[in-house]
Structure 1
Amino acid sequence: MPQLKKLTALTLIATGLSSFAFVPATAQAEDAFMEALTGGKVSFSARARYETVQQDNALDDADAFTLRTTLGYKTGAFHGFSGFVEFEDVSHLGSDKFNAAGTNGEPGYSIVADPEGTEVNQAYLAYNNFDTTFKFGRQIITFRDAPFHRYIGTVGWRQNWQTFDALSIVNKSLPDTTLSYAYIDKVQTIFGDDGNLAALMVDDGEIHMDSHLFNAQYSGLPIGNLEGYAYLLDYEDSVDDSAYSRATYGVRLAGAQAINDDFKVVYTAEYATQDDYADGEMDQQDYSLVELGGKYKGWLLKLSHETQEGDGTFSFRTPLGTNHAYQGWADNFLNTPAAGLEDTYVTLVGNVMGAKLVAVYHDFETDEGSLDAGDEFDIMLAKTFNKHYTLGVKYADYNADEEFGGVDTEKFWLWGQVKF
């Protein structure tokens, strides 16, 4: 596989150089190149956030005030080629009365996984032609709208986003169809350069991989959008990766049908299966999601039931997903328990005085043994002003049950963001 990586890199570089070789060395060509290079777009964002965590255990309550800042630049296109670079900084404002995922020397506090640090968040060369986009380098890879990145995502709720050192290809030649492929060499995790978590295969903030992602989406059906996927995760490390490498194959249908001008029925059905891959040794576990609800004059109410199977040793997991968006914002189930998890939840989304309201109630149960795994109530209110400024408040309250164990957890967030 190292030879394949080198060949891929050399091919892209050669292709890029060849595009310049055939351009006449004229003043007009030079002007076009400089215009593409200097006439791009600058992007900037800053998100200041206060987070507090209270848990019914021996850990001290956490209080974290952090600031995430990004600065990026995207060039214009020149013969189909363009580039993008983005820097990201996470700073701790005030005292470190929280455990920043083991990176700030405060193990006695509850975790707020926002380590300090400055890094290159994205840096890639892109080529767009023939209804196809190629990207080579450090980049964001997602296949669904934020924040619902079930399998592959940015972990965008945390201050240090997850990105990938990868080659990605997206093709839209066929009507109503998007075909995507990505090869991942490294995962740049949320834990920063000082993050070393052997339990998650994280070494100096990175996960080394030899992974392939396939995703196909078709929007031409009258009943909804159809998606099929295959995610082949091969962890490469000196640590035994037999419990980590796994292949996931799935299909999803999501749609809506108008009953009248004011009311729509919405629905989702998804099934996936996960088994060992490469050096992995897990036993097959399945996943399912069924949702049914309605939209009425800007309000959404839906009932969902999601199952991640587990047999007491292995369970269905989504290690590269934005898992904060699933199984409760208190983050007690970021990793699926070995016994699996069934989550029955009700979601209400609406608009209150121009602000977005989201409220969710979860009822948890293990897949194996049907143990009561607790319940959780989540609520968020956020408002965006003049397209660039956002204020938000969010609260999560998880109540554990003695039958399963777990820890009662309350979390509260208050944040403000500016984005250009």
Structure 2
Amino acid sequence: MNATHKVLSASCLLAMGMLALPAHATVTDTPAAPWQLEWDVRARHEQVDNDAFSRDARADTLRLRLGLRASFGDGWSALLEGAGVASAGDRYNSGANGRTQYPAITDPRGGELNQAWLAWQGDTFGVTAGRRRLLLDNQRWVGNSGWRQHEQTFDGLGLQWQPASGWTLRYDWLDRVHRVAGRDALNPLARERRLDTHLLNAGYARGNQQWTGYTYLHDDRDVSTASTVTWGLRWTGKPAATNGGFGWALEAAQQRDYASNPQSFAHTYWLAEPSWTQYGVTAKLGWEHLGGNGHHALQTPLGTLHAFNGWADQFNVTSVGGLDDRYVAVNGNLGQQGATAVLGWVVGWHDYRASHRTADGNHYGREWNASLSAPLAESLSALVKVSDYRADGFGRDDRRLWLQLEWHGQQPLRR
């Protein structure tokens, strides 16, 4: 074990020790202090059984994210945040350890500067510069991929303006993306990418509904074939009644080649997701379409990928035949009151097909997902999660299990 790994391991052991502190040490709802310490500790066991490999992968990892937030007054604030990941053993392919005989679990050991930004916020206008977490809408196009131990962050500049009630206009320029594979990934392109990307997003909210229009000009300076322009509209609605009712998400977009991309393509995207909530249980029917033409397909390289198209991560890169994901999902709490009321559950089923028929046929496979979450104490939660992908013309059968504990909080620092 080298010196870096020893330091990270010691830090993670210290973080686990912090978990034993009493719950009142965590301050989550206090007014902004001039200086504030923030932390997030996540311990996870993940195992993958994929039929393409003779060996199963098992990863026991521990992440410590530690930040110092400053509020200078007159609208000025800043955040400096580092993150470190330690692991017990190497029975998985982290992308940095060369253990390609195992299935991939992209949670490599290592430390990094996670966020470092300076911001000013006025009554209606704000600006942020530096390295930061960026979440747009449902994170389909731009997000932090927060499921992985290293998160995706961006270097650049962001402007936000609220010209009238209900309106939010955003412009973000991205100079670089730091990816979840970490800075020690064997593939340099999996570590980070140089960008010249412009994101324009306009949202309007009224009552229980929201409309969003966007144009994303993504110029990848390291991989020209990844450069695209995407524009679209999104409309969402929540149940009008407090005890439940009808909700929906509708979205349509088009993606084309952009900047120095040598390819020529035009792909459509659409989502239709009606839902119904009753007695605290929400059921969704969904159909998400990512267009493809047999040679190239619509991609979302800056998005949060694990949250879409199943938890087995079979479609993080869209196949050239495109993807039609038809799914059913139900979520709620185990009870209406008492101890079971705090236990949250999710069950989902996906049927995957090509949006453009290929030589291998148009059916990719099916997948089941399920999870159970529980708060154990203030800001401390536990999660059990499983996925089961059954291949039919795409990839191989894949089964996954996650066991997770996470603790986060903040503490004002006294002068």
Residues 261 and 135 from structure 1, CA distance in 2 versus in 1: closer, same or farther, beyond 3 angstroms? Answer: closer
Moved over 3 A (4+): 260-263
After superposition, the CA RMSD in angstroms is 1.7
Question: Deviations 1:62-87 (Å, cap 9, x if unpaired)?
Answer: 00000011111111133322211111
What TM-score do the two structures reach when normalised by structure 2?
0.86
For CA contacts below 8 A with separation 6 or more, give which structure has more relative contact order. 2
Give the secondary structure class of the aligned counterpart of 1:366: strand
- Paired residue type of 2:310: G
Structure 2: stretches of 5+ with no match in the other structure: 1-31, 335-339, 410-415
* Residues 1:329 and 2:324 are matched in the alignment: no
The correspondence of residues 21-420 of structure 1 with structure 2, limited to 5 A, is 39-92=34-87, 94-101=88-95, 103-144=96-137, 148-197=138-187, 201-202=189-190, 205-220=191-206, 224-237=209-222, 241-258=223-240, 262-280=243-261, 281-352=263-334, 353=340, 354-369=342-357, 371-401=362-392, 404-420=393-409
Q: How many residues align?
A: 369
Letter in 2 for 1:358: V
* Distance in 2 of aligned mates of 1:362 and 1:224: 27
**Deviation at 1:38?**
8.2
Q: Distance in 2 between matches of 1:393 and 1:52?
A: 12
Question: How much does 1:285 deviate?
Answer: 0.3
Contact 2:244 2:280 in 1 (8 A): no
Question: For 2:238 and 2:84, how far apart are their aligned partners in 1?
Answer: 40
- Aligned partner of residue 73 in structure 2, secondary structure: coil
Deviation at 1:39, TM superposition (A): 2.6
Query: What is the TM-score normalised by the length of structure 1?
Result: 0.85
Aligned counterparts of 1:261 and 1:244: Cα–Cα separation in 2: 44
Distance 2:265 2:394 in 1: 25
Percent of aligned pairs with the same amino acid:
33
**Matching residue of 2:17:** none
Cα distance change, pair 225–261 in 1 and its aligned pair in 2 (3 A):
closer
CA distance in 1, matches of 2:54, 2:196: 37
Does the CA-based 8 Å contact 1:59-1:110 persist in structure 2? Answer: no
Alpha-carbon contact 1:282-1:314 (below 8 Å) kept: no
Q: Tell me what 2:26 maps to.
A: none
**Whole-angstrom distance in 2 between the partners of 1:83 and 1:261:** 37
Write the distance in 2 (CA, Å) between the matches of 1:132 and 1:358.
Answer: 38
Task: Write out per-residue CA displacement over residues 232-275 of structure 1, whole angstroms, 9 at most, x where no aligned residue.
Answer: 110112xxx342100100101010344x6633101111000000
Aligned-partner SS, 1:76: strand
Structure 1 residue 40: deviation in Å? 1.7
CA distance in 2, matches of 1:139, 1:288: 29
Distance in 1 separating the partners of 2:131 and 2:373: 30
